[in-house]
A and B are shown apart, each in its own frame.
Chain A
Amino acid sequence: MIELKNLSKSYAISKEQTSEALRGIDLKIEEGELVILKGPSGSGKSTILSLIAALSKPTSGDVLVDGKNISKLSDDFAALYRGKNIGFVFQKYNLLANLSVAQNITLPLIPLNPPLHELEAELESVMQMFHIEHKKDVMVSKLSGGEQQRVAIARACINDPKIILADEPTANLDKTLSLHFIEILKELKALNKTIIVATHDPLFFGLDFVDREIEIADGALV
């Protein structure tokens, strides 16, 4: 249901020079697939995630999600699309430090303006799923790394997205927490979500519940 067609993205470093992050990628990912995108840093993994999330636009080529070309969406529609379909776990989590756990998690819901009881129900369920309900009103800056991670994931899941994208989720975690994350992955897969994890952490390689491992180097698929 996600299709990348001849996708290219280049960034301008200076007036004359550009760097090509992606070169003509063709890729198809089915619904419910758990895909590991592996490659060294700078290989273009993050760029692919960013493009699928419509956080940036490709230089050329298309991104189709459920048949819809999301690479051509206007800013507003891109935001709408994201809000409905995407749950993103950033590498640096990108939590708002001075907000509480609950406040951070519910951020994606604010544009949708649901009735209060609905919002609270969603919040509760997602906090419980990721075991941080006991820290509901604590400021995230006061949480441990692992707890922050769980908040980030909870936030990514609260709007019940079809697609979950994770960019180097274990880069700043120790082995225990990394393994814990993999457990969460399992649960998410069980929910039949389409999941793409970009990582170079070997812990993710050769897992039995992973559907596919795609390798990428220098902006192209290997």
Chain B
Amino acid sequence: MRNRINFYLLEYALHSLWRQKSKTLFIGLVLTLLIFLLSALFFIASSIKHELAQSVDALPEITVQKLQGGKHTNIPSSAVDTILSIHGVEDAIARVWGYYYFQKAGVPFVLVGVDPFEEQYKKSLQKIVDNYEISSQEQMLVGRGVYEIFKEHHYEESFNFIKSDGSLYTLPIAGVFTETIELESNDMIILSKQSAREIFAMDADMATDIVVKVANPEEIAMVASKIQLAFPDARIITKEALQISYANIIDYKSGVFLSLFIVSLFTFFMIIYDKLSGLSTQERREIGILKALGWKVELILKEKFYEAALLSFVSYLVGVSVALFYVYILHAPLLRNIFEGYSVLRSSFHLPFVLDFQTLALLFFLSIPLYVAASIIPSWRVATQEADEVMR
């Protein structure tokens, strides 16, 4: 038998699709829409995951928090001295940070206090501190998303923080930074540790938590256990644990996401069911005729396969392409609201372009083989009957 591709068959398949224009178009559109929806969601999710992973990766190896009654409370900065004396510890930094709820806008900001003469715990932070002069004067740097919110509420040059005792604390805006990843610049404000303490009513010798840099990853466990010994009431969080929990944040838990997913699957299966429930008389007749003319069952199925594969593959390509455009160029209007849970700021959703081949492959194998199988099976049933019966 010839091993060349039977181009006549391919041509026949194409023509067959063309003959049933309206049906082809309808199914094509539905498939494309489904794949578009699914891939857009997948792309957004994996981009966010990527951003989160990056942000966690930048964190130091160990974070030390003091617990009181199982809840986080401030830790004395002097703990840094004890930790520094542990072998393997490259550096220990007392962090001063917290959330400030801007009531009018209904959004929380993350206030990060820095000491400009200290080695920062994150490279992006270091870059910002190096690039901008946060002197001991009281000023602050804000992320782009924060700045937009400020502008919305007519705070152009400075902002008034409300301290815990009700009094106002005004800080002038020294600049807008863009050095961090999108996720962070959305809600982050950088200021001096002093100012942060002022706003949060924190003592000068206390810190929010302490981050520890360990040069050799193999020593992390040992260092963590030594810290725990020194501070029995502390919670020691390793970077590894953080990475796992961050990955879970975006793991398809949002209810809306789930329901969208289910709806699309449902629609998809409806199409398949429709196909499986049998062929029209005309289609049956056509198969019978082809058999009578010398077409083997195998050939008939091959032709049906070409039809289904062509249609679904083109739908896949179009769906994925449009999704790429939608997510990375249009920045996913409407759909992005599903993911707002992780960052409560309405802001520019400039996601990093992450082409995850696993996702693409998953989509491919979810959509195409299913549809192709659904198309072939009813034809197979008909084709194996006696041609004579079919044509009557």
- Do A's and B's CB atoms come within 8 Å in the complex? yes
By the criterion CB–CB under 8 Å, are A79 and B295 in contact?
A: yes
A83 within 8 A of B: yes
Question: Which label, helix, strand, loop or mixed, suits the secondary structure of the B interface?
Answer: helix
Residues of B within 8 A of A53 (CB): 292
Q: Which of B2, B15, B289, B296 contacts A94 (CB 8 A)?
A: B289
For the complex formed, measure the closest distance between the CB of B297 and the CB atoms of chain A, giving whole angstroms.
6
With A94-B289, A113-B2: A108-B294 Cβ-Cβ less than 8 Å: yes
A10 within 8 A of B: no
Residues of B within 8 A of A98 (CB): 19
- Complex Cα distance, B296 from A155, in Å, reads 17
Q: Which of B209-236 contact A (CB under 8 A)?
A: none
Residues of A within 8 A of B293 (CB): 82-83, 88, 107-108, 155
A202 within 8 A of B: no
With A103-B15, A106-B8, A113-B6: A96-B289 Cβ-Cβ less than 8 Å: yes
For the complex formed, measure the closest distance between the CB of B22 and the CB atoms of chain A, giving whole angstroms.
13
A75 within 8 A of B: yes
A60 within 8 A of B: no
B56 within 8 A of A: no
By the criterion CB–CB under 8 Å, are A111 and B295 in contact?
A: yes
For the complex formed, measure the closest distance between the CB of B391 and the CB atoms of chain A, giving whole angstroms.
6
With A110-B9, A113-B2, A113-B8: A57-B290 Cβ-Cβ less than 8 Å: no
For the complex formed, measure the closest distance between the CB of A73 and the CB atoms of chain B, giving whole angstroms.
12
Number of interface residues of B (CB under 8 A): 27
Number of interface residues of A (CB under 8 A): 30
A138 within 8 A of B: no
Residues of A within 8 A of B386 (CB): 55-57
By the criterion CB–CB under 8 Å, are B12 and A110 in contact?
A: yes
- Complex Cα distance, B292 from A94, in Å, reads 10
| Cβ contacts A104-139/B at 8 Å (1 or 0 each) | 001111110100000100000000000000000000
- Complex Cα distance, B293 from A103, in Å, reads 13
Q: Which of A55, A99, A107 contacts B387 (CB 8 A)?
A: A55
- Complex Cα distance, B8 from A96, in Å, reads 16
- Complex Cα distance, B298 from A113, in Å, reads 14
By the criterion CB–CB under 8 Å, are A111 and B296 in contact?
A: yes
By the criterion CB–CB under 8 Å, are A79 and B389 in contact?
A: no
Residues of A within 8 A of B8 (CB): 106, 109-110, 113, 119
Q: Which residues of B contact A (CB under 8 A)?
A: 2, 4, 6, 8-9, 12, 15, 19, 285-286, 289-299, 384, 386-389, 391
Q: Which residues of A contact B (CB under 8 A)?
A: 50, 53, 55-57, 75-76, 79-80, 82-84, 86, 88, 90, 94, 96, 98-99, 103, 106-111, 113, 119, 155, 159
* Extra 7 A-B pairs, beta carbons < 8 Å, given A94-B285, A94-B391, A109-B8: A75-B296, A80-B296, A82-B294, A90-B292, A110-B6, A113-B4, A119-B8
